[in-house]
Structure 1
């Protein structure tokens, strides 16, 4: 039986999915790693601008990595600068490169095809098309034994009644870790494409073959409340198609930009880089310069990290 869950916000969707996997999941251990798994899940987010999973104190994600990964993917990059925001990604690299990186597959499939551009063109030419598809899984590459194999098979987009709906299919989804960042990136892509088409935002639907919690995350998942706070909508995003790559490069560099949504993205990335350079006061000042939901979440994440470090540094008694 397929698990069907819907919610207005990513936090609520995450919480309901956690409880569903905890109550109905079955133990399996692919690659000898124990998990609790539901085979066949359909998760629907009805308000894609409520894309930030934020369920404190049980689940607090790093908003700087969420933004960095989204910009990394949409820009078509597989460059190693992403490791600055998440060092653990390097563990999945072959010769320093993440071979399953989504960005190159989406923006320059086999070095030649910008699938994002093709999806935009298909929907522009025929608004009711069923052919706006972005394919990410590549059997020619993904059967070679690389450490990093895409969990996402592909994206599809449908324009109906003036709203752009997005469907994602995944062979596998780590609910505790991967879901929180994947839904953030995917709905940014959905919103940007809706802007290029001049449409409203419809629903975001995620179909997952194996939705699972790793055994070591199960105790933490049990701390998630059944009814999570939906949290605020993210600030609207808009980037002209003609300047997409230039604007993304500016965001990644932390350059101040017009438009509150992009300015907040740049602020969050610049703040995190300052913190990684050891400038805690500067990082805090940059994060405090913006009052949007991501900057607010980043300040809270810093506070949590500082408390954890303080506890770790306390002498044992």
Structure 2
């Protein structure tokens, strides 16, 4: 499925400014699912066979492994679909990684609020992120289907991203205060699902003598992780759909990015505040992709995948670099 019909002149002329149109067959999907399943099973049954506190060095190695896996999948994309598809995949991957950075803050707040012991945090994030991948995939399928049947949605999506960029650029650190106990989601969860404050090992459910099977705080965090991620995914999935219209590329990049971010959590949770310019960089990227969608719809003017990818890498690099330089200056 693609948006090629939205850009007929670009497609007919062979312009590189249009979305790539690839021929995905069932075995491509099977290969993606098998790769992700093998990586997840290895992570759960081998690397984290026993619950333990994840040290910084181990977290660094695992983060490198997941990011390498995500970027290595680009070689498969290049082999099967060519360079333009690879560019869209890498661009979508980087976009998803950068726009999902705020997830780390929410994860840290949820884990601290429910007092999840450090040795069980990986397990909670493991199941929470798997659910998030499924929800994001559904958003991608729905988003692409909407763009296929309702062409003006591409302009509406662009305006939404420009607004999101403006809001993010004006957001201050104080605006990020987040208290799960004040949210309706937690209150609804506690009404619908019998739960307890007791943490008994790594169990998501335990048996209570009076109430039967009840959910532990670990399961509550898993559910809240998935639901809060669905809110964050509106921005990131929308942005990814400005880079690629192919379900396979969008789903693969989203899956590898969010799974890699889960490992990065153990490195970034304590240092995220030090990247003070990253938020402005992300806002600039959001504004860029939103503007790109608007001009593509109204004026049939397109930015190539190569230029989009270069812009994303440049802005992220400058944002991180400027933050590092600022942190090294004496206060």
**Larger strand proportion, structure 1 or 2?**
1
| TM-score, normalised by the number of residues in structure 1 | 0.29
Higher relative contact order at CA 8 Å, sep ≥6: structure 1 or structure 2? 2
Task: Compute the TM-score of the two structures, normalised by the length of structure 2.
Answer: 0.28
**More helix by percentage:** 2
Whichever of the two has the greater Rg, that structure is: 2
